[in-house]
Amino acid sequence: MSYFLSEIVARLGGEVRGDDVAVERLAPLESAQAGEISFLASAKYRRQLDATRAGALIVSPQLAEELSGRFPLIVVADPYLYFARVATLFHPSARANGSVHPSAVLGAASRVPASCQIGAHVVIGDGTVLGERCLIHPGVVIGDGVEIGDDTTIYPNVTVYGGCRIGQRVTLHSGCVIGADGFGLAWDRDHWFKIPQTGRAIIGDDVEIGANTTVDRGAMADTIVENGAKIDNLVQIAHNVQIGEHSAIAGCVGIAGSTRIGAYCTVGGAAMFVGHIEVADRSHIGGGTLVSKSIRKPDNYASSYPLQTMKDWLANAVHVRHLDDLVKRVKCLEREIETLKYPKDDQNE
């Protein structure tokens, strides 16, 4: 597959400057060769231009002036976003081919349109309804009474428990689990009593959920991932959590029950959220941060301790254990200093 720059611009917009060359694939700037297209989104990567042999570049108007004549260019306002769209052009998503593998099991009263593709050893429960053009890869198990919207792709070995709802154009990557029981338990004298988890997991439109991520069903109300949210691999979303629209959550994040994360938030890898808190829209949480209370005001938040050697950490840990004593001593010293500044006799005068 190859495209002339003019063909790419006709589909995606932008402006061609220089020769209208054909490109066959995408490549990183430092290793791109003839016939390949790359991008330069920031002037700080300009040094890589000395090594590149790219056939064409995607650049901003600011950099285009400098590079005109050196490379064939596509000039756009946001080179990184445009590069992503070109990547989609070269590597379009697989489409359902309208087949059902003989080993698939379709439950009673399930509805699977002829436009869907159902892979080997897929199990679809009773009363489950699929939208048009769904692509269900091998080994997927979908429980009873599930609703799945149009153009959704579910990769191998995903499990969707009964009663859940999946929107349109959703992507569920291998091994993720939608609608498992939330961790609801009550202590009964000498043992735990399991609380039935009777809510659902609701996944909105245009959501992508990474490999081995879990979205638990609600205890009574629903767990909700709103439209456009993007969730990485190995994320735990507990019961009754709500993720706002177009929020992005990186890998290994843990979100405890009944937490609400607003819209357009970003969460760095391995961040942790305690339960029953709220995070304001457009908040940004750094990787490794422990969010232990509600965030009412959108801003950038982080609580990661700086990296240091084990020896230094152990030395500092000893001091941390005595912080309370240190605070008390400082307060005593402050009082003594005030006394020296303002003797009692002077104060009486």
Round to whole Å and give the CA distance between 294 and 309. Answer: 32
Per the residue annotation, which of 137, 173, 239, 246 is the catalytic one? 239
Round to whole Å and give the CA distance between 269 and 246. Answer: 17
> Hey, what amino acid is at 84?
A
Q: Tell the residue number behind the tokens 């932008």, with chain if given.
A: 14
Q: What are 270's two structure tokens?
A: 């391995």
Round to whole Å and give the CA distance between 93 and 117. Answer: 14
Residue 11's nearest CA partner among 78, 94, 102, 74 is 74
Round to whole Å and give the CA distance between 192 and 185. Answer: 6
Instruction: Assess whether 239 carries a catalytic annotation.
Output: yes
Q: Tell the residue number behind the tokens 């428990």, with chain if given.
A: 161
Helix (H, G, I), strand (E, B) or coil at 340: helix
Round to whole Å and give the CA distance between 16 and 59. Answer: 10
- Beta strand 191-194 with 185-188: parallel, antiparallel or unpaired? antiparallel
How many C-beta atoms lie closer than 10 Å to residue 88's C-beta? Answer: 11
Q: What are 165's two structure tokens?
A: 């709802």
Residue 106's nearest CA partner among 301, 5, 114, 8 is 114
Q: What are 311's two structure tokens?
A: 């020896």
Round to whole Å and give the CA distance between 60 and 51. Answer: 20
Contact 16, 6 (CB under 8 A): yes
Active site residues: 239
